[in-house]
Structure 1
Amino acid sequence: MIEEQLDLAFEGTADRGRWRHRRKEGGGRNVVAFVLVLLLFGALGGGAWFGYDKVKGYFTAADFEGPGAGEAVVEVKSGDSASAIADALYKEGVVKSAAAFVNAAKDNPDSKNIQVGSYLLKKEMKASDALTWLLDLKNLNVHRVTLPEGLTYLQVYDRLAKATGISVDDFKKAGKDPEALGVPSLWFKRTDGKKVDKKNIEGFLYPATYEIAKDATATDVLKKIVGNFNAEMTELNFPDTVTAKLNISPYEALVAASIAQVEALLDEDMGPVARVLYNRAYTGNFPCECLQLDSTVNYWLRLTGKEAKSSEKLLASELHDPKNPYNYDVKGMAVGPISNPGDVALRGAMNPKKSDYYFFVTVNEKGAMAYGKTFADHEKNIQEACKNGIPIC
């Protein structure tokens, strides 16, 4: 929102009170002044008259009649006053004078509600019309798109395509080189011996609401989203925290966060679920040292153009498919993220509270989870879930 102060720095600064009581004497001065005026107009007539319109704008509130034509892009920045916006409009040829816009803003109490952003207006608009356009968010020169937590990169591309008109294929092409989009090289290393697919952008498309310029390319859009991911990682100090407290690579923790984002329905379960994943993958106390998760199997089904299935409908051949790098039997942490996690999941995966749990299951319609140390514990929790109508039996 713009500042409410309407600073009128461009208005005349002369002290009008000085001229209310003129002395009658001093006729000689008046003659000299008259001569100077004649000389001035002579000079104007000699070629300087073209500047009159510009000069006039500083003394009068010159205004276009409207409705305007063509296009002009004007950016409203954080902290801009009415006169700052007026100057920007004047420079782009939207209004005939800055004063006309400031006057319109003074007459309209809603003017303080102008939002920060880039606006698409017309040239030569009536000042009051220009103000009305700035108050209508439909005139923002951007596409707005919200990316919720837990989407896969293909789902992200689909939403971006619908919002911007850029094709999914363009996003797929642009997303094949995450490093070129700004993902730092530190994210392509693991401590468990598994290789990181440097062409895999999954996990790096940070969920948030984005404003995308209407002339942006697929590469521009993905760079913006990756930039937001980098900013979040810096704010959380995610890489250093994970390395120091968990003794694993940031990428492995990102994978855990992406799984927790999908598995946990409630914020309070993000950390505990991540701990179960670490216990299974790294402690050596889980029989197969694998994750055994339906969510990773379903991720592969989606990637290969198939429908995800509920737990009770997944076939043994799908759970143990040797062609699926995310199957039940793969040892250690999954080979890559299965979604794009948000802030809560990332925080949960950074430093989850220690526990001896190796099992979790959703036990009621609210999404609450129960945890178990042994398979016997897990079976009891499953029976509770079944009693509550959760379809896993």
Structure 2
Amino acid sequence: MGYDTAGRVRGRVTRVRIVSERFRRRPGTVGSWHMVSGYRQLRDVDAAPRFFDRDGLFEHDGDEADSDVGALIDLDLDDVPDLPARPSIVAGDVSAAGGVLWVVDSSLPLAVSVDADHTVHEYVLPGAVGISRRIWATTGGCWIAGGDGLFRVDVGETPRHVDDIPVLAGATLGDTLLSCRAEGRWTLHGPGGHRIEVNAPEGYVASVAVDADGFVVAVRVGDSAFRLVRVHPEGALTVGPVLPHTRRQQHRMFLGGTPLRLFLGEHAAPVLEDLTLGEPRTLPKGLMSAGQVGPFVWFTDHPPDGTGRSGWWPLPGPVTYDRARQFWLFTLLDGQSLEPVTSTPIFATRPPVTIDEHGTVWVIADGIRPIPDSTMQWPNELDIAALLDVARNHTTDSAE
């Protein structure tokens, strides 16, 4: 029914029912609706629709309307084949720097580096199994963080456990990592183990980005306010004023673009020198899952069919595509103009994203894939597991 579920389950589908709810217009508004309890209905169908949205409510003239909100699916958990053997590595996050692509496993304490000639080196972290981790590449190595703390990997060296406090968010500027850790503690980690503790303001870290002057962090202060904080590479801190935002806004707040902007829903406002916001620009639609990658802003959304309020945006116009398998549309926006650069079908809603020194954008979406230059072209896969297997076999043969 939403994005607040966790975990995975496998089973044979035995029944599908569509769930509908009743919505009532909020008094004195045009496009604001709330769900009315006690009117949920279920109906059996042979197949669920691919997406559920509320666009019909905006076109409804009355004050009450029923809308489909999701699917209730019955599964037979026993009538399924055994899972295939796990690959040697399952990519959980990816980052590029210095001509090297770094990948960390989704649950194993394992990272690999991939050179331009597809030479692979693996590194085993002194960490726990079953933890998802983030990775930030730098020249000559990478930072890796998760629920068991922060690790540093230098090329050709044994990985080091730098800190055991979980890292909630972070970003790199050159070789320096800003880690926003639990308990409201922020730290700048520099080359050679140099670290600077930052006296961070209270609040939830919603987004971390970089610009020419350092790091910028968006910090939520309660349900209806936030502030921007600049962290300079040498450790100085500039805390901006508390800024209001609309509480009913359901989209995630994030920073990105050139000049740096704060995105919230369909609004993109430039970040000013005093850490306030300039006049916002309205995008054709709200960005649900998005982020900063090099000079681009990326986001994922349902592929358009031309019938919604935003028309065919971000596609250039009517496009015919195969609907046999549900996919999401990954789009790059020019960081300055915010105009679409390219859109690519992928099988992920919130993919890890990075960009290498050649300007190639990489995503983890049913494998690691480079985003093509042409719109609506399916991306190929870089089979990291196969490359790792070859490297391991070569090492074994050399030892013998």
For this structure pair, what is the TM-score category when the shorter chain's length is used for normalisation?
Answer: under 0.3
Larger Rg: 1
**Greater relative contact order: 1 or 2 (C-alpha under 8 angstroms, separation 6 or more)?**
1
